[in-house]
Amino acid sequence: MNQIAQNISQECGDCPIRHSAVCARCEPDELTRLEEIKYYRHYDAGSHVLWSGDRMEFVASVVSGIATLTQTMEDGRTQMVGLLLPSDFVGRPGRDTSPYDVVATTDIIMCCFRKRPFEQMMERTPHIAHRLLEMTLDELDAAREWMLVLGRKTAREKIASLLTIIARRDAAINLRAPKGVLVFDLPLTREAMADYLGLTLETVSRQMSALKRDGVIELEGKRHVTVPDFSRLLDEAGDDSDGGMLA
């Protein structure tokens, strides 16, 4: 299941998420102190990072890979409430049980900090607290955006909205503007997409087929997606024409 990660002792200075994670604003000396309390951890695709109700021993940043935050009702209905990408933060200072299941969708590496030392450090270094506030506000905006999707959009618009988000993220990683032709891989199964969108996997599949039939997307295999015209996809998502802006 979960092993202590490869002993490639990484230095924060070389870290791929150095400039976007919770440590983004830290000065070199602060980074040094963080390095003392951090450790890496690897999780296999499909394994649980945290179970809802679990005691959390640490907070962490996703270094690589993708994880999901989900809530499940007693009868098994589940709703994804967050998609964790590299640099996203897991856990809440001052709380010690997780209200959500955190599941690795792909193999992931997490940069973990034991909770107590991290909390102490947060009190002493405003750079961390400030960055965490900023990230939390971004997540809150994203959650509210998603409430509109869940509450008011049709199945087709929901799918298009999700594709839009993934396409944007992918473009951002590759330092390209999200417009024109875009190509990316879906990091989620149809079932995970359904859990994100409040749909069934059958409906997800049907709407993917419909978008393909209508030329909004092209599929190669199940996961490899080409968007011939990003603005067309935006229209399908029902978003404001300008497409809004992310942080």
Rounded CA-CA distance 63/14 in Å is: 12
Q: Which does 54 bind (CB under 5 to 8 A by kind): a second copy, DNA, none?
A: none
* The Cα angle at residue 177 between residues 172 and 181, in degrees rounded to 5: 110
Residues 67-106 that bind DNA (CB under 7 A): none
Span 198-227, contacts to a second copy by CB under 8 A: 198
Asked if residue 57 binds DNA (CB under 7 A), the reply is: no
Closest CB to DNA among residues 161, 203: 203
62 scored as a contact of a second copy (CB under 8 A): no
Binds 126, which of DNA, a second copy, none (CB < 5 to 8 A, cut-off by type)? a second copy
Determine which residue in the list 174, 209, 226, 231 makes contact with DNA, applying CB under 7 A.
Answer: 209
Pick the binder of a second copy from 117, 228, 238, 243 (CB under 8 A): 238
By the 10 Å C-beta count (0-12 exposed, 13-18 middle, 19+ buried), 52 is classed as middle
**β-strand partners of 110:** 41, 62
Q: What are the backbone angles phi and psi of residue 173, rounded to the nearest 5°?
A: -60, -40
Single-letter code of the amino acid located at 72: T
Instruction: Rule CB under 7 A: choose which of 96, 119, 138, 202 binds DNA.
Output: 202
204 binds, among DNA, a second copy, none (CB under 5 to 8 A by kind): DNA
The 22-61 contact track toward a second copy, x by CB under 8 A, reads ----------------------------------------
Report how far residue 86's alpha carbon sits from residue 144's, in angstroms, rounded to the nearest whole number.
Answer: 21
Two structure tokens written together for 135? 């990230």
Joined tokens for residue 44? 């296999």
- Using the rule CB under 7 A, is 201 a contact of DNA? yes
- For the residues of 53-70, what is the DSSP string, one character each? TPBP-EEEEEEES-EEEE
Interaction between residue 190 and DNA (CB under 7 A)? yes
Q: Which residues neighbour 64 within 8 Å (Cβ) at sequence distance 6 or greater? A: 16, 86, 108, 109
Quote the least distance from Cβ 197 to a second copy, whole Å: 7
Kindly state whether residue 113 participates in binding a second copy, applying the rule CB under 8 A. no
What are 55's two structure tokens?
């005691």
Cα gap 165→143, rounded to integer Å: 13
Residues lying near DNA in the complex (CB under 7 A): 154-156, 189-191, 198-206, 208-209, 219, 221-223
Residues lying near a second copy in the complex (CB under 8 A): 69, 71, 73-75, 77-79, 81-82, 92, 94, 99-100, 123, 126, 129-130, 132-134, 136-137, 139-141, 143-148, 150-152, 197-198, 238, 240-241
